[in-house]
Amino acid sequence: MASQSSNKKRPNKSKKRSRFDSEEFERINSLPWNSTISEEDDAFSFLIGSNDVEGGGFLSLEEIDESEYNLDIAKPSGGSEKKGKTTPKKQKLDTKNEELNDEAKGESKEDTEEVEKDTKQKKNKKKKQKKKKDKINKDAVNKAEGNEESAAVTDENDDREQDSVDETEYYAWNELRLHPLLMKSIYALKFKEPTPIQKMCIPAAAHQGKDVVGAAETGSGKTLAFGLPILQRLLEEREKAERQLTENGEMDEKVAPTGLLRALIITPTRELALQVTDHLKEAARHSNFRVVPIVGGMSSEKQERLLRTRPEIVVGTPGRLWELMSGGEIHLVELHSVSFFVLDEADRMIENGHFHELQSIVDMLPMASKSTDGDSQKTHNCETVSSVQRKKRQTFVFSATIALSADFRKKLKRGSQKSKANDELNSIETLSERAGMRADAAIIDLTNASILANKLEESFIDCSEEDKDGYLYYILSVHGQGRTIVFCTSIAALHHISSLLRILGVNIWTLHAQMQQRARLKAIDRFRSNEHGILIATDVAARGLDIPGVRTVIHYQLPHSAEVYVHRSGRTARAHSDGCSIALITPNDTSKFAALCKSFSKENFQRFPLEMSYMPEVMKRLSLARQIDKISRKDSQDKAKKNWLERNAESMGLILEDNDSEEERVNNHKRKKTTSAQLNKLQEELKILLSRPLQPKTFSKRYLAGAGVSPLLQHQLEELAKQKNPNNSGDVKRKKLMVIGQDCVEPLQALRSAGPQANFNLKGIAEKRKDVNELRRKRKETKKRMREQRRKQKKKLQAGKE
């Protein structure tokens, strides 16, 4: 349905653009291509983007605002652009026509005069061309950068920075033959070497023009693995077109078309789209390609204004993209120019809530298979376009967990490209095929058997449902170093623990899908800016979020699938860092956890080391916090109920009568007073407890424990311990000596020091489960037998009575 509606909107535009399109595409096809990219794949080398936007700058707290992009976007005047505003190309043509008319009027002038004029013009033209050629050859870099004052300032800084760059340190990038402007960005990012997925993807995508299915662990640099090839090809195309125009002496005659949409990147979440945008802007900062995010939760008018700047690269979420596309947003429906289509976190895209819009978007992409001979003008145009497009659009499908869909991989390896009768894009395979993925796509799967990030250490704490909150508080307070993300599966659980933690004085931020977009971005921003920040989030934060310094991920509730577990845990141990994850496992979770371990081919998970002497104090505080929470909740529920009643009564013009008797009123008042006194008392008690360090009374064998120990004291204690055991220089023992106190030891350190203390034994669990199943079966059989016996006895009794 959706795609039909979109198709309805397209014929008009197609009619208006049909001549232009076919002319342009004829020209595209006639352009030669450089040796590194196959002729077939060189789609839009005629493009010379008018890139006047400075990249860089993360979209942070406020709504997307064009001012953040240093854009001076003209408000639409008079007829809307959608109705076919005069393009620069058309303006140029009009001017040319006027010139021709003028020339015709001047026919009466003498021939000699005309010849002189002609020669003069030719001379001027040659001069101009030479000047331009020199300029291009002299400084291609400056040419691409010199559009904005702000860009110039940044570039000046970058140039200064680049002067101090020792390029030999970046030699590992050499073999990837990236454009100097991209290398300049890489120097600025200080990425000394490409990550393995980048090493594999860039040659295949940028130089061989292949479609790519990429799978690599979380935080392994997949964004640039598809981002750099896109930018590389766009840069090469632009330069080639410029060179060719200069060589043909057409620089003056041909006007670069205003930016066409060249790359469409789709991500499952808004935060991820903003992050990918930011990342690509950093990579494109010297090449001047415009990258714009199109996501829900923000003003669509502003986004439409951003799109009117005709960015070459759009990164968006399916919902808002489709909303604008189906509304006929001109930049987004001109998909014939899209040469790069990316599905980031592809496996998430096919999940419920995403694929309908995605399917509609994919169906908008020009594909030869969708055209039929008998169709309208629009179809004819699409066919012209698609015959170019089918060969030339590159499709990239990326995810850390795509390899979990082994079926997809196998099929692609076999090169199966048969179109499915299936109309729904409910598998990555169908989705990729419909998006135009070619049979010879490069499959780059760098995930290991466990799919989990290499530098991630995983652990678990088995506890009762009752003690879960206590253990969470324990980890956050005893091991509060570095950033921590706590994942919940439900928003109710998120509210529950965030309320408790706030009462316990733990500084946290929350993130879930029911929050306003502005609040979501604010939470991320604040979390990002706090070195020891704690974020309590649902799975909306599970995918793609790249926040440096996340040291620990806690699974407060286990996720529903192995994929989500991988992505959640992948918020730590990113790029070259390490990190750890801790899963809180209650008896109800055991079999789910065992299944998870199995899907990662992991026999053992490490048990997180706990210093049990902390627990009495932890539980005391928690008990008080729970009581406070219960009273406060009841109070706010009562208030909300009263407000609701009052609001409704007011809206209906009614006056609420207080029907309570005097006695009831007095009792209510007394009850309120008692509750308030009780609340104050509990809060006071908790305050006293919180003012004391969370300190165990005894010293453990392994740890010298002391809450609130300053780094200096910690160091002195360690030195003291060394002096006491001068002979004991064995590394193993020294490693185990650790001083722990609040905010002293991060979980990863505690985990490493503990060694493989205890493991989650899958075999044991399987056996236990077997035993339990056997027990259940026997119990069932006994029950059945007893039922049978009772029935027989009943029958006998009835027969006796008769």
Ligand X SMILES: Nc1ncnc2c1ncn2[C@@H]1O[C@H](COP(=O)(O)OP(=O)(O)OP(=O)(O)O)[C@@H](O)[C@H]1O
562 contacts ligand X (rule: CB under 6 A): no
182 binds ligand X (CB under 6 A): no
13 near ligand X (CB under 6 A):
no
- Least Cβ distance, residue 482 to ligand X (angstroms): 16
Q: Which two tokens stand for residue 395?
A: 């499709």
Contacts of 416 (CB under 8 A, 6+ apart): 439
Any contact of residue 187 with ligand X (CB under 6 A)? no
Q: Does 278 bind ligand X (CB under 6 A)?
A: no
Give the interface segment with ligand X, choosing from 175-183, 212-220, 502-510, 589-597 (CB under 6 A): 212-220
CB 362 within 8 A of CB 435: yes
Give the nearer residue to ligand X in terms of CB position, either 195 or 339: 195
Binding window for ligand X (CB under 6 A); candidates: 222-230, 435-443, 693-701, 719-727: 222-230
Using the rule CB under 6 A, which residue among 574, 624, 706, 709 binds ligand X? 574
User: Is the separation of the CB atoms in 45 and 257 below 8 Å?
Assistant: no
Told to check if 411 binds ligand X by CB under 6 A, we report no
Quick one: CA dihedral 416, 422, 425, 426, positive or negative?
negative
**Backbone region of residue 577 per phi and psi (left: phi > 0; alpha: psi in -120 to 50; beta: other values):** beta
- Give whichever of 204 and 745 is closer to ligand X, judged by the CB atom: 204
List, in sequence order, every residue forming a beta bridge with 534; answer none if it has no partner.
484
Nearer to ligand X by Cβ, of 185 and 359: the residue is 185
| 544 forms part of the interface with ligand X (CB under 6 A) | yes
> Quick one: 198 or 557, whose CB is closer to ligand X?
198
Does 451 interact with ligand X (rule: CB under 6 A)?
A: no
Q: Is 470 in the site for ligand X (CB under 6 A)?
A: no
Q: Which of helix, strand or coil describes residue 81?
A: helix
Kindly give the interhelix angle for 180-189 and 222-247, rounded to the nearest 10 degrees.
Answer: 150
57, 221, 520, 574 from 550: Cα distances, Å:
21, 16, 18, 9
Sites for ligand X among residues 385-404 (CB under 6 A): 400
Residue 195 binding ligand X, by CB under 6 A: yes
In angstroms, give the least distance from the CB of 542 to ligand X.
9
For position 218 contacting ligand X by CB under 6 A, the verdict is: yes
Strands 483-487 and 534-537: parallel
DSSP state of 458: E
User: By CB under 6 A, is residue 226 in contact with ligand X?
Assistant: no
Among 44, 69, 187, 191, binds ligand X (CB under 6 A): 191
- 581 lines the binding site for ligand X (CB under 6 A): no
Q: The dihedral of CA 6, 8, 12, 15: what is its sign?
A: positive
178 contacts 234 by C-beta, under 8 angstroms: no
> Per rule CB under 6 A, is residue 482 in the interface with ligand X?
no
Chosen residue from 10, 13, 207, 222 binding ligand X by CB under 6 A: 222
For the CB of residue 179, give the shortest distance to ligand X in the complex, in Å: 16
Q: At what angle do helices 615-651 and 468-478 cross, to 10 degrees?
A: 110
Residue 480 contacts ligand X per CB under 6 A: no
Candidates 211-219, 326-334, 659-667, 749-757: pick the segment binding ligand X (CB under 6 A).
211-219
- Is there binding between residue 546 and ligand X (CB under 6 A)? yes
- Cα separation of 781 and 245, whole Å? 86
Judged by CB under 6 A, the residue of 194, 311, 366, 696 near ligand X is 194
Contact region with ligand X (CB under 6 A), list: 7-15, 20-28, 38-46, 193-201: 193-201
Using alpha carbons, list the distances in angstroms from residue 496 to 500, 517, 619.
Answer: 6, 22, 16
Q: Which of 224, 235, 385, 739 binds ligand X (CB under 6 A)?
A: 224
Give the binding-site size for ligand X (rule: CB under 6 A). 18
CB closer to ligand X out of 544 and 741? 544
Q: Which is nearer to ligand X, 297 or 570 (CB)?
A: 570
Angle between helices 2-30 and 355-364 (to 10 degrees): 40
Q: Give the binding range for ligand X (CB under 6 A) out of 102-110, 150-158, 191-199, 250-258.
A: 191-199
List the alpha helices (DSSP H) in 203-294: 222-247, 270-284
Query: What is the three-state SS of 562-629?
Result: HHHHHHHHCCCCCCCCCEEEEEEECHHHHHHHHHHHHHCCCCCCEECCCCHHHHHHHHHHHHHHHHHH
Cβ closer to ligand X: 570 or 747?
Answer: 570
- Residue (480 or 570) nearer to ligand X, CB: 570
Residue 556 corresponds to which tokens in the numbers above? Answer: 């407060």
Name the site residues for ligand X (rule: CB under 6 A): 191, 194-195, 198, 216, 218-224, 400, 544, 546, 570, 574-575
